A = this chain, B = another copy of it.
Amino acid sequence: MAEPAAAAPPVDRLAIVGLGLIGSSIARAARRYGLARDIVAIDGDEAVRDRVRDLAIADRVTGDAAEGVEGADLVVLCVPVGAMGPVAEAMASRLKPGAVVSDVGSVKGSVVAAIQPHLPDGVALVPGHPIAGTEYSGPDAGFSTLFAGRWCILTPPDGTPDAATERVRALWEGMGALVETMSPEHHDLVLAITSHVPHLIAYNIVGTAADLEAVTQSEVIKFSASGFRDFTRIAASDPTMWRDIFLNNRDAVLEMLGRFNEDLAALAKAVRWGDGDALHAMFTRTRAIRRSIVALGQDTAAPDFGRPRPEEDGGKA
């Protein structure tokens, strides 16, 4: 990870719109690693602004997007996907020539379509998506190392000046992230399978369990350690953010969900007919993917995610 540089920071004035988990983490990291001379925090929610002032993670705090982006050479929108268009429209007239606008939305095609039309000539759009987060929300949930060792995908539309992309890349690399670029369409397909469908499924099974009449909710909760509880963490993510993701990446989600359902039907058939060989073969090949994820540093190899035990020595006899 980058340490505070003696040279000029890659960003002069950084404006962050939306100080939730991601926005507040960017503010903390940008200051900690010396990535911006000046940080402006913009949020429409007075309670959030008050917390940001108390936390002292920005140089200036305002509720007015247009006023807040004045003089900024990089503006990062950290609001739910459905709010990107209105925010872009509100601030567009005050963006300075040469400014770069970025975002952290989990869907890229619809975000480009929502933001791009509002931007004046001479302002570049470099959409971004950090693959990092937790199930918690709000300015108190953020921390400066959230992006360290995690990937950030940039999806600059055709014709974006290289210098604009490099400015955004410098911010993310400065926060310790690994940067990859791809088209917005490909991003949306990749994330549909690695993120959106898994979340939909997790939300779904937690809902199914809550509705059973033969099994009580207290039994579901008590015996959750058998697999179910990992789904509940995912299903505890921010509802507004996830509603917007599904509304804005509909086609890719439904395509991937269709494939998931075909595969699940085949697996259910193997269960119904007692095809042990098919089940064993399927359960064996999925182990290799897990090993690759741990090897690549995208997860811990600690058993059970290293959840704390009553005695931290692990009790090895």
Binding site for B on A (CB under 8 A): 1, 27-29, 31-32, 55-57, 106, 131-136, 141, 143-146, 148-151, 153, 176, 180, 186, 189-191, 193-212, 214-215, 217, 219-237, 239-240, 242-244, 246-247, 250, 253-254, 256-257, 259-261, 263-264, 267-268, 270-272, 274, 276, 279-280, 282-287, 289-293, 296, 298-300, 302-311, 314-317
Q: Chain B residues with Cβ under 8 A from A286's Cβ? A: 203, 206-207, 210, 232, 235-236
A-B contacts, 15 of them at CB < 8 A, read A135-B290, A193-B208, A194-B209, A194-B220, A194-B224, A200-B271, A202-B227, A204-B264, A206-B286, A232-B286, A240-B280, A242-B279, A243-B276, A243-B283, A257-B271
A215–B227 contact, CB under 8 A? no
| Given the contacts A151-B223, A224-B299, A228-B194, A289 and B240 also touching, CB distance less than 8 Å | no
Q: Chain B residues with Cβ under 8 A from A306's Cβ? A: 305-308
Copy number in the complex reads 2
CA separation between A228 and B202, bound complex, in Å?
10
CA separation between A226 and B237, bound complex, in Å?
11
6 A-B pairs with least C-beta separation: A134-B303, A195-B226, A144-B315, A239-B283, A28-B317, A145-B315
B271–A222 contact, CB under 8 A? no
CB of A11 to closest CB in B, whole Å: 17
CA separation between A311 and B33, bound complex, in Å?
13
CA separation between A100 and B161, bound complex, in Å?
76
A254–B272 contact, CB under 8 A? yes
Chain B: CB-nearest residue to A228: B194
In-complex Cβ contact of A235 among B210, B253, B287 (8 A) = B287
A298–B225 contact, CB under 8 A? yes
| Given the contacts A191-B223, A226-B191, A141 and B303 also touching, CB distance less than 8 Å | yes
